[in-house]
């Protein structure tokens, strides 16, 4: 919910899943079966250990009310339904998706920044002839490649986005590979990566920055993420080798902002080698940040880059906390207003009709401002409903 996933087109309904053979193994080795985290990923429908489909545990309680987690074999309420994998080719495709999902989940934080992903997409699309030298997508080829790969999988639980995306793959690929990429649900990334690359490692390798001449340290990214911890390496570069935060960040292929955040997290004292921002300007920027002005307008008004403003936000947790809570308050005020207005205009209509009105804010209030919503509904003599 915090990630906004419930509101995205991929949806937030993720029933618990499990592998019968893993449960049997668990019982033999530990005495009881447990839910495996890697099986719960929305893009994982098969067990990579046993090469068999997972089963879905349905229970009669709606997911939003299922706040408790029980062991898989203790709850007699579950009805198990095995996922129907239509063919061997589909099985191979789902195994790759499951393996990629596990691998992606295991990557250290900040391994794949959006800009870096976008560069990887651009390179791989060009190299495989799916985009021209100038980066224009060959849309017909791309759509037919993806459709062939995932044919027959659209009806599997959790893969409905395949149908929803349909012919919009070129648009999606374009938005994920733009110089300033849009954010995309991990499932969409995994589906696209699965269709255009040979393996996730190949893709990650493609995303790694190309070594510059004269660089002393150029890690292979795929090797990097499996063999040691980024933060440790970062600490070593700064504390032992005396690199600046900027140089260490560059060597590890992350942005300077990420490097500064790591340095803070690791409590490394470092000297900023960038052009120092005068204290007076920092004070002014902080004040504007506390007022809630946009980052771009603050950067323009203070004559500094947006990166500098973000850096100041990162350096002052109370500023980012205040901005978050202010943004939430104004979002809540807007949601309350639009819901009240919709109810006012449709006072003779059923709640269902109000909820089908675009921009009615019901779901947002349901998730974020539940008590207010309940009070408002009972004032109107209505009962809340959850069914979609
Ligand atoms: Zn298994």
- Residue 215 CB neighbour total at 10 angstroms: 11
Q: What is the pLDDT of residue 106?
A: 84
Residue 388 has pLDDT above 90, yes or no: no
- Gap from CA of 48 to ligand 1 centroid (Å): 7
10 or 289: which carries more pLDDT confidence?
289
Residue 215 has pLDDT above 50, yes or no: no
- Gap from CA of 82 to ligand 1 centroid (Å): 13
- Gap from CA of 19 to ligand 1 centroid (Å): 5
Span of 36-40, 248-252, 337-341, 364-368 with lowest mean pLDDT: 248-252
91 or 111: which carries more pLDDT confidence?
91
Residue 78 has pLDDT above 50, yes or no: yes
- Gap from CA of 94 to ligand 1 centroid (Å): 14
Instruction: Please work out, in degrees rounded to the nearest 5, the angle formed at the alpha carbon of residue 240 by the alpha carbons of 237 and 243.
Output: 45
- Gap from CA of 307 to ligand 1 centroid (Å): 46
Q: What is the mean pLDDT of residues 192-220?
A: 72
Residue 50 has pLDDT above 90, yes or no: yes
- Gap from CA of 95 to ligand 1 centroid (Å): 12
- Gap from CA of 83 to ligand 1 centroid (Å): 13
Q: What is the pLDDT of residue 261?
A: 78
- Gap from CA of 319 to ligand 1 centroid (Å): 46
Residue % of the chain over a pLDDT of 90: 19
- Gap from CA of 189 to ligand 1 centroid (Å): 25
**Residues 173, 126 contacting (CB under 8 angstroms):** no
- Gap from CA of 15 to ligand 1 centroid (Å): 17
Mean pLDDT rounded to a whole number for the chain? 81
Q: What is the pLDDT of residue 6?
A: 62
Residue 226 has pLDDT above 70, yes or no: no
- Gap from CA of 234 to ligand 1 centroid (Å): 37
Q: Who surrounds ion ligand 1 at CB < 5 A?
A: 19, 21-22, 47, 49-50
Lookup: tokens for 262: 């790591």
- Gap from CA of 109 to ligand 1 centroid (Å): 27
- Gap from CA of 220 to ligand 1 centroid (Å): 32
Written as one string, the DSSP assignment of 166-193 is: GGGHHHHHHHHHSSSPPP--HHHHHHHH
**Residues 270, 238 contacting (CB under 8 angstroms):** yes
Residue 67 has pLDDT above 60, yes or no: no
Residue 253 has pLDDT above 60, yes or no: yes
- Gap from CA of 68 to ligand 1 centroid (Å): 24
- Gap from CA of 150 to ligand 1 centroid (Å): 23
Residue 87 has pLDDT above 50, yes or no: yes
- Gap from CA of 24 to ligand 1 centroid (Å): 9
Span of 3-7, 85-89, 144-148, 161-165 with lowest mean pLDDT: 3-7
Each residue's pLDDT tens digit, 126-167: 988 888 888 888 888 888 888 888 988 988 888 877 887 777
- Gap from CA of 286 to ligand 1 centroid (Å): 52
- Gap from CA of 226 to ligand 1 centroid (Å): 23
Each residue's pLDDT tens digit, 328-371: 888 899 999 999 988 888 888 888 888 888 778 888 898 888 89
Q: What is the pLDDT of residue 7?
A: 63
Q: What is the pLDDT of residue 36?
A: 93
Q: What is the pLDDT of residue 286?
A: 92
Residue 24 has pLDDT above 70, yes or no: yes
Each residue's pLDDT tens digit, 363-379: 889 888 889 999 998 88
- Gap from CA of 55 to ligand 1 centroid (Å): 10
Sort 321 into a burial class: Cβ within 10 Å, 0-12 / 13-18 / 19+.
exposed
Span of 32-41, 87-96, 230-239 with lowest mean pLDDT: 230-239
**Residues 230, 110 contacting (CB under 8 angstroms):** yes
- Gap from CA of 223 to ligand 1 centroid (Å): 27
- Gap from CA of 22 to ligand 1 centroid (Å): 4
Prediction pTM value: 0.52
Residue 79 has pLDDT above 70, yes or no: yes
**Residues 95, 200 contacting (CB under 8 angstroms):** no
């Amino acid at each position: 919910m915090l990630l906004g996933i419930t509101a995205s087109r991929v949806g937030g309904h993720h029933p618990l899943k499990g592998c019968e053979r893993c449960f049997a193994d668990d019982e033999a080795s530990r005495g009881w079966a447990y839910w495996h985290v890697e099986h719960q990923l929305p893009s994982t429908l098969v067990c990579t250990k046993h090469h068999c489909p997972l089963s879905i545990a349905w229970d009669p309680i709606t997911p939003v009310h299922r706040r408790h987690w029980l062991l898989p074999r203790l709850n007699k309420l579950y009805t198990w339904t095995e996922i129907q994998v239509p063919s061997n080719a589909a099985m191979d495709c789902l195994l790759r998706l499951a393996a990629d999902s596990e691998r992606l989940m295991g990557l250290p934080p900040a391994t794949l920044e959006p800009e870096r992903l976008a560069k990887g997409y651009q390179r791989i699309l060009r190299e495989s002839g799916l985009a021209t030298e100038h980066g224009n997508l060959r849309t017909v080829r791309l759509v037919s490649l993806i459709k062939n790969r995932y044919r027959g999988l659209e009806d599997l639980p959790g893969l409905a986005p395949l149908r929803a995306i349909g012919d919009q793959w070129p648009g999606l690929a374009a938005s994920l590979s733009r110089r300033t990429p849009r954010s995309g649900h991990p499932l969409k990334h995994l589906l696209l990566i699965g269709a255009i690359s040979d393996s996730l490692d190949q893709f990650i390798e493609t995303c790694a920055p190309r070594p510059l001449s004269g660089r002393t340290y150029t890690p292979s990214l795929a090797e990097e993420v499996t063999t040691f911890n980024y933060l440790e390496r970062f600490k070593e570069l700064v504390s032992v080798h005396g690199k600046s935060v900027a140089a260490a960040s560059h060597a590890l292929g992350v942005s300077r902002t990420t490097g500064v955040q790591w340095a803070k997290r690791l409590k490394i004292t470092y000297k900023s080698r960038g052009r120092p921002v005068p204290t007076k300007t920092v004070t002014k920027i902080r004040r504007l940040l506390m007022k809630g002005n946009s980052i771009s307008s603050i950067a323009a008004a203070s004559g500094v880059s947006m990166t500098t403003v973000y850096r100041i936000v990162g350096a002052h947790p109370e500023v980012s906390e205040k901005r978050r809570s202010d943004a939430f308050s104004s979002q809540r005020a807007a949601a309350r207003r639009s819901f009240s207005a919709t109810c006012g205009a449709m006072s003779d209509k059923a709640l269902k009709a109000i909820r089908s009105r675009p921009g009615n804010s019901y779901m947002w209030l349901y998730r974020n401002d539940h008590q207010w919503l309940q009070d408002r509904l009972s004032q109107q003599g209505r009962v809340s409903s959850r069914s979609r």
